[in-house]
Amino acid sequence: MYGYFQKDDNDERFYAEHLANRLPDPIFDAHAHLNLPEHVSRVSQQTINGDWALECGLVMPYEDAVSYHETLFPNLKMKILALPWPLPEADIPANNAYLSGLAGENKVTALMTIRPEWDAEYVEKQLLAGGFAGFKPYPYMAASEKGAEVSIFDFLPHHHLEIADKHGKAVLLHLPRKGRLADDDNIHEIRTIVQRYPGLRLVIAHFGRSFNVKYLKEGLIKLGDDKGAVYFDTAAVINPAVHREALQHLRSDQILFGMDLPILLWHGKRRWTETEYFNLCREDFSWNKHTDADNEKSYTFFVYEQCKAMLDCMEEEGASAQTVKDIFHHNAVKVYGAK
């Protein structure tokens, strides 16, 4: 486990006051990257330096994931949707095999990362033999820049979508392009997927990278009638305005709870402008400028802030206890066919 991951008295108080009696049991974490150190041993320092998130956490064996969950959410049963690290330099076949083994032991539900150059025969064989619930493509397979101006189909080609459609599998999609969910080209391609491949279940990660409400609000309008054919996970989204927008304009069964571990194990929160977000963090990562140093001791875990924001918004919107259970557990079970 990462040495910086430490639970203190302030975390205990925050959990007891804001989460302990409000979270359902069990919880399904529908966005967690599991791997072994050897799977990412070839990932260069240059790659890590180019993405603040990779510095926070790049390794998480199953046993560590269980320990993190037990520490963060004591006495709650946790289920995991396990994703490989979808980086070009990673040993993706080995990482896929590792998750397949865990899925075979009923420890996790797993998605398979795909490289766009893999042929259909190989992908279909690995998908079915590995017991995967679907695919986890990623823009890094088409471009090294985060938020690059590439097509979804550059890293999620049609011959892979045809396989997911044929077998009724899920696809967890991280959107490219700086415009995020609101980008017109992203919207066109999402609509193409749901219309051309109705047999698959499309889940868009991070509410379409809508860490600011502007992107979600504009994106949902642009999706039009196809909005109802898409699912979204909450991974790394802490902004209450985003969660409120989702609850008001999506069906509750379209929202899946996820945390994006091991990236977000630190203490902190965020500030926002209309189009950007800024991490406020206690831990000494190279990207952390400690712009709020006087208040850092009062920070709790980022994922606690995320859960509180979600629960507060659900309470404000009059969500039922069943809706809370659905978002934190049942929806992911249905979408990913988990046990």
Residue 325 sits in a domain whose CATH number is 3.20.20.140
Rounded distance, CA 148 to CA 145, Å? 5
What six digits make up the tokens of 89? Answer: 């330099």
Q: What is the pLDDT of residues 15-46, one digit of tens each?
A: 999 999 999 999 999 999 999 999 999 999 99
Query: 131 in the Ramachandran plot: left (φ > 0), alpha (ψ -120 to 50) or beta?
Result: left
Q: Which helix (H) or strand (E) holds 201?
A: strand 201-204
Rounded distance, CA 26 to CA 6, Å? 24
**Does residue 147 carry a pLDDT above 80?**
no
What six digits make up the tokens of 212? Answer: 């600011």
50: containing domain = 9-336
In a domain, 282, yes or no: yes
CA quadruple 260, 262, 268, 271: dihedral, nearest 10: -40
In a domain, 314, yes or no: yes
Q: How confident is the model at residue 181 (pLDDT cuts 50, 70, 90)?
A: very high
In a domain, 4, yes or no: no
187 with 219: CB under 8 angstroms?
A: yes
Phi, psi for 187 (deg, rounded to 5): -60, -45
In a domain, 186, yes or no: yes
In a domain, 160, yes or no: yes
Tell me how many domains the chain contains.
Answer: 1
In a domain, 3, yes or no: no
Q: What is the pLDDT of residues 150-167, one digit of tens each?
A: 999 999 999 999 999 999
Q: How confident is the model at residue 339 (pLDDT cuts 50, 70, 90)?
A: confident
Q: What is the pLDDT of residues 244-295, one digit of tens each?
A: 999 999 999 999 999 999 999 999 999 999 999 999 999 999 999 999 999 9
Question: What does pTM read for this prediction?
Answer: 0.97
**Does residue 144 carry a pLDDT above 90?**
no
89 with 42: CB under 8 angstroms?
A: yes
**Does residue 95 carry a pLDDT above 90?**
yes
245 with 267: CB under 8 angstroms?
A: no
In a domain, 150, yes or no: yes
In a domain, 2, yes or no: no
Determine the pLDDT at residue 145: 79
